[in-house]
A and B are shown apart, each in its own frame.
Chain A
Amino acid sequence: MQEKPKAVALISGGLDSMLAAKIMQQQGVHVEGINFYTGFCVEGHTHAIRKKDKAKPKRNNALWVAEQLGIKLHIIDIIEEYKRIVINPQHGYGANLNPCLDCKIFMVGKAKEWVAENGFDFIITGEVIGQRPMSQRKDTMPVIARESGADDRLLRPLCARNLPPTLPEREGWVDRDRLYGFSGRSRKPQIAMAKKLGIEDYAQPAGGCCFLTDQSYSRKLADLWQARGERDYELDDIMLLKIGRHIRPRPNFKMIVAREEGESRFLQGYKKSFVHMLPVSHRGPLVLIDGDPGEQDLLLAARLAARYCQGRDAEQVEISIVRDKNQEQVSVAPFPAHEIPEEWLI
């Protein structure tokens, strides 16, 4: 190979992929980053929406990592294609609705396409054997390489010494002796390496970077599929699952109740697409109604909406209901908090 070898790194915004890219740069490889947007990414959204998170940095960590490394980052929208991974994962789900193994195979496969289109030589990831229970195991790592089609053009610099040599190693594009043999769940080796490389600031998202690993979120998605009688979704559906309190008092409708001002403001953008209600006699949250509620359902929803406003202890609360551009006002007794069945809360 005459020119510098070129690698594309899957950059999540976390420490491991940052280190993997850095190791390659140190070996003289030209590295560019690729980051996939599935719609389920935790990245920034809730911080951008929720008022109480206003103080948290709103940076996109993948972009931030790329800038620290001095590499280009290509962010790819895979929302539509990703649906089949979430809806029908060939390797099944993890503890929640997280199709981690299928997800990794899909992303590495997309990276392989990108490599071919852009004249790059190989793919790197920050995977470490044993780091994650589903996708980062010694027996699943070859599955990812094989089923993605990347085969031996997939290099994992942090644990390469525990795996057979890949094409970049055999061809001498990278020096295997300067790769690493990390394994297990411990983060200590990565943290020590970061320190050695002078990397002090990095994201450490608790529970990973995908909402599908979150139990509460997965429950809401399963409820959505059950209520609609089909396993499908649109981007707005999965965005709304990240926001507010979700209550399903009846099978034919659910309520999305903003928990604070930032969420209310965000839900305002969806008002036109939903029946919605707002307390008028007291301060309270905007509530969207998803589904097909009847008259009695709306009165029940209004009582529940009243329970979440500042008039929760009042005898009556005035609630404005907007449906098909028609606005009406009802006076209801707030639903007593202790009478809300637990199974209504999704």
Chain B
Amino acid sequence: MTTRPFEGVNILDFTWTATGPATLNPLAFYGATIIKVESRGRFDALRSLGPFKDGIPEPERSYAFAYSQAGKRYNITLNMGTPKGMELIKKLIKWADIVADSYSTGTMERWGLDYEGVKKIKPDTIMLRTCMHGHTGPLSKQHGQGFILTALSGVDSVISWPDRAPSGAYGPFTDYIAPQFNTICLIAALDYKRRTGKGQYIDQSQHEASMQVISPLILDYTVNKRDITGQGNRLTYAAPHGIYPCKGKERWCAIAVFTDAEWASFCKVIGKPSLAEDPNYATLLKRKENEDALDELVEAWTQHHTPEEVMKLMQASGVAAGVVSNAKDMAEDPQMKHYNFFVEREHPVQGKIPFYHGPGFRMSGADYEIGRSNLLGEHNDYVFTEMLGLSDEEFVQLVSEGVI
């Protein structure tokens, strides 16, 4: 028996870009009803961010938007700057259990829809507000995005070669870290509300949340005054430990040897069992001491094999190894396929999109449902007439007035 745990949970979604959907997707996967509010004048910024289907930069063609909106939603457009628009939004706030936004301080305030405002409309609302620096303090109005927040959060600093400035994370990495804290909080708040009848206000600073991940490195500074740095692909307690070139162009495999037993297995796999006894490499300390020569030795073998061969041979002998997967490898990876990670959905403008994906876990008693990204205002008719009960005449009138 599987169930849809969030059936009956309603979410009014004012978020935009990546953090909001990453937060709310898991709720959508498991049955929550989400209405995403956009406006034709100012739609979700991800719709303007490429890459685009066929290279045509139009709001319905953005892969960035499609990729982020994997949870099922209703999409409406509403001009919040009009009194009639505000009237409709108030009805939706009454409908919602959760109201979420991802603006810095000022935008929701301008509409009178900060937590105090929302609470007046519905006292037990759970409101999530997530922005770069939280909604208090001098930087509450600071705009930003995950492409640069990685610098402030220490994430970039651990992804670097020791002899160069940080190379940094690829993409808006904190946009994937920070939302997970929000999802945890929102579900806890739903449970809390069910037990106590009380709503909740969640004020997330994405900066504060992202730094949690590296707290041991922050302690290394507060205790030992040591700064956060990267060591390339090396690790103090493993050798070999790196990403090695394999047969083919830009083909790579990660290999990590921790114990002497793994080292002996590694030597057998590369056809040099006697190397295990070589005093230059027999212990971790010696392997660390001679790591440059060791890496050359590893490369001399890996370059004659495909990364898939390296991974399979090593793992079969108990040595950790993994193909450095590119997008094609990911699409074809047997483990990802085993879990049906990528799912194809038909999009009205983009056609078949095979990169929609569900959560990073699987539950024994609940199925997830993957939707597809919506067109702007795709569900205006349904939401405003069927859900909110506007007559067809009223609906047409509001459309012509530019409210919807």
Query: A and B from one assembly?
Result: no
User: Which residues of A are at the interface with B, using a C-beta cutoff of 8 A?
Assistant: none
User: Which residues of B are at the interface with A, using a C-beta cutoff of 8 A?
Assistant: none
